[in-house]
Chains A and B, each alone.
Chain A
Amino acid sequence: KAGVTQTPRYLIKTRGQQVTLSCSPISGHRSVSWYQQTPGQGLQFLFEYFSETQRNKGNFPGRFSGRQFSNSRSEMNVSTLELGDSALYLCASSLVQGISNEQFFGPGTRLTVL
């Protein structure tokens, strides 16, 4: 069974641009969560989608948004990029909603903002 895939793996953008990251969950998984990992702030929850609906949202500005498609694939978008948005963005999927179900993480997309 294929794991969680994230594309692209690496991305370089400049300040003010926007970026879209993609996450394909494990087949059959309906919940997708996104996390930002930086050296300074560590791992922080961005949002979670389940059945195309955002169920949880972390404490990030409105420049960070996401969506989920009917096939459970998810995208996150960051508009008006800032230098501080440079980070590893991790996506995680789980079979059903509910924390007792294990979350499987993808390898991440490393975003560099110049």
Chain B
Amino acid sequence: AQSVTQLDSQVPVFEEAPVELRCNYSSSVSVYLFWYVQYPNQGLQLLLKYLSGSTLVKGINGFEAEFNKSQTSFHLRKPSVHISDTAEYFCAVSEVKAAGNKLTFGGGTRVLVKP
């Protein structure tokens, strides 16, 4: 079984400042890693994913994340946030060798971008 911990439930940040959202996972098997964003009253949108290869992953809207296997972390960063980045962000994992699609999500981090 896997588990995902997002260390911050809420992160306030000023517009144009950098932001980092922390994600740690626990798993006895290899996993794929994902970050999703959820805007109010909407479903989830994939920001980026790590399947294999380079540990630095670039996603949409200027976001990037770094996979650190030794620390079992997959932190999300953006160098300069916009008001429109106000949303809830979810880190998720899935077992590499599992059949089918099953995502295990963290508890989410609410980002509030202030002008």
> Which residues in A have some Cβ–Cβ distance to B below 8 Å?
4, 31, 33, 35, 42-45, 48, 50, 55-56, 58, 90, 92, 94, 97-108
Number of A-B contacts (CB under 8 A): 72
Chain A residues near B42: list those with CB within 8 A.
Answer: 107-108
Write the nearest CB–CB distance from B47 to chain A, whole angstroms. 11
> Which residues in B have some Cβ–Cβ distance to A below 8 Å?
32, 36, 41-46, 49, 51, 90, 92, 94-96, 98-108
Write the nearest CB–CB distance from B18 to chain A, whole angstroms. 26
State in angstroms the CA–CA spacing of A107 and B96 once bound together: 27
Q: Say yes or no: A45-B103 contact (C-beta < 8 A), given A99-B32, A100-B32.
A: yes
Say whether B44 contacts A105, CB under 8 Å: yes
- Name 10 A/B residue pairs within 8 A (Cβ), A-sorted: A4-B43, A42-B106, A48-B100, A55-B99, A94-B101, A98-B100, A99-B32, A99-B98, A102-B49, A105-B44
Other-chain contact of B46, A42, A44, A103, A108 (Cβ < 8 Å) = A103
Write the nearest CB–CB distance from A92 to chain B, whole angstroms. 7
Say whether A43 contacts B105, CB under 8 Å: yes
Other-chain contact of B43, A44, A90, A99 (Cβ < 8 Å) = A90
Say whether A98 contacts B105, CB under 8 Å: no
Write the nearest CB–CB distance from B13 to chain A, whole angstroms. 22
Q: 11 new A-B pairs (CB below 8 Å) besides A103-B46, A106-B43?
A: A31-B100, A33-B101, A42-B107, A45-B102, A48-B101, A55-B100, A56-B100, A58-B102, A92-B44, A99-B101, A108-B43
Say whether B41 contacts A107, CB under 8 Å: yes
